[in-house]
A and B are shown apart, each in its own frame.
Chain A
Amino acid sequence: MLKIAIHNEGQTPSFVVEGKLVGPWVKELEKCWESVLATEPSLAMVVNVAELTFIDSEGRELLTRMRRQGARLVSAGCLMNAIVAEIEAEVKKEEQSWTYRP
């Protein structure tokens, strides 16, 4: 089961994703994400993944892409904290490599 809740109140829209982010359902989340981005392209978004119970490599890739586009990932629990920390480190490393490029 994958549950996506979109909250669009205030300045920062947020996505709350629960359940399993796997296989074909990753594309569904991406479509929702793109659809909201199309209407509010300038706003940074919050993606709450604290209630995700399972994530595959495609799901992780999507979260990384979201983070690269400026989303703030909110996590809880050992597993999701570790995955988000890994994504944060990856994106930071990329940003630094851009900064230091001559």
Chain B
Amino acid sequence: MDLQTIAAADNKLNVFRRAVVLSDDAPAPMKETVELSIDSKLELVGPVEALAKSVSAKLGFEEEDAGWIELAVREAVVNAIKHGNHYLADKRVDVQFLVGQDAITIHVRDCGEGFDLTHLPDPLDPENLLNPTGRGILWMRTFMDEVEYSAHPEGGCVVRMRKYKRSSKKQI
């Protein structure tokens, strides 16, 4: 290959690269997915919370709802680190935000063995009212419209939470 051919190829690549880098026709964020994967460390919950609040605010959720989503995601991630992965650094927590037109769906996956919801103590039981822990799942169910737990086919436990925008709730 002579120098002229190389220069021509390089020039073509440069044009392509600039077209890609400088394009302002970015795809619309609707029906997009943002994933965040973190080590099982509580200090990394902050970035997940920040992302949750920011994504939901961007979707048009009211500030109050965005705050509830942030709190629910925080609870799910803390549970995944604490009870799912038992703080083991080599086990990761994957958080997926599925952004739709009228709702946000969040999947939080840990690498634990899962748990039986029916065996969890009731945080509303007078005996447990002074217990400082055990309210995470109650909060998630209170703040979100749908909360489901399932086992991931590749291992681990997945919590799926969905919150609809207030405007879309009226139509349902």
Where the two chains meet, the residues of A that have a C-beta atom closer than 8 Å to any C-beta of B are 1-9, 20, 22-25, 27-28, 31-32, 34-36, 38-39, 54-58, 60, 78-79, 82-83
CB–CB B32/A1 < 8 A: yes
Residues of A contacting B47 in the complex (Cβ-Cβ under 8 angstroms):
6, 31-32, 35-36
Q: Is B128 an interface residue (CB 8 A)?
A: no
Tell me the bound Cα distance from A58 to B39 in angstroms: 28
Q: How far is the CB of B168 from chain A (nearest CB, A)?
A: 20
Closest to A39 in B: B43
Q: How far is the CB of B58 from chain A (nearest CB, A)?
A: 6
Q: How far is the CB of A61 from chain B (nearest CB, A)?
A: 10
Tell me the bound Cα distance from A34 to B36 in angstroms: 15
Residues of B contacting A57 in the complex (Cβ-Cβ under 8 angstroms):
21-24
CB–CB A9/B89 < 8 A: yes
Sampled A-B contacts (21; CB under 8 Å) = A1-B32, A2-B32, A3-B35, A3-B37, A5-B37, A6-B39, A6-B47, A8-B39, A20-B27, A23-B29, A24-B29, A25-B34, A28-B51, A28-B55, A32-B36, A35-B50, A36-B46, A39-B43, A56-B26, A57-B21, A79-B20
Q: How far is the CB of A71 from chain B (nearest CB, A)?
A: 15
Q: How far is the CB of B56 from chain A (nearest CB, A)?
A: 11
Most chain A beta carbons < 10 A, residue from B28, B34, B55: B34
Q: Mark B67-106, 1 if CB is under 8 A from A, else 0.
A: 0000000000000000000000100100000000000000
CB–CB A83/B26 < 8 A: no
Residues of B contacting A35 in the complex (Cβ-Cβ under 8 angstroms):
46-47, 50
Residues of B contacting A36 in the complex (Cβ-Cβ under 8 angstroms):
44, 46-47
Tell me the bound Cα distance from A6 to B40 in angstroms: 10
Q: Mark B6-34, 1 if CB is under 8 A from A, else 0.
A: 00000001100100111110111100111
Tell me the bound Cα distance from A8 to B50 in angstroms: 17
Tell me the bound Cα distance from A55 to B24 in angstroms: 10
Residues of A contacting B50 in the complex (Cβ-Cβ under 8 angstroms):
31-32, 34-35
Q: Is B54 an interface residue (CB 8 A)?
A: yes
Q: A9-B89, A56-B26, A82-B17 are in contact. Are A28 and B34 (CB under 8 A)?
A: yes
Residues of A contacting B20 in the complex (Cβ-Cβ under 8 angstroms):
54-55, 79
Residues of B contacting A82 in the complex (Cβ-Cβ under 8 angstroms):
13-14, 17
Residues of A contacting B89 in the complex (Cβ-Cβ under 8 angstroms):
9
Most chain A beta carbons < 10 A, residue from B22, B47, B50: B47
Q: A31-B54, A35-B46 are in contact. Are A83 and B21 (CB under 8 A)?
A: yes
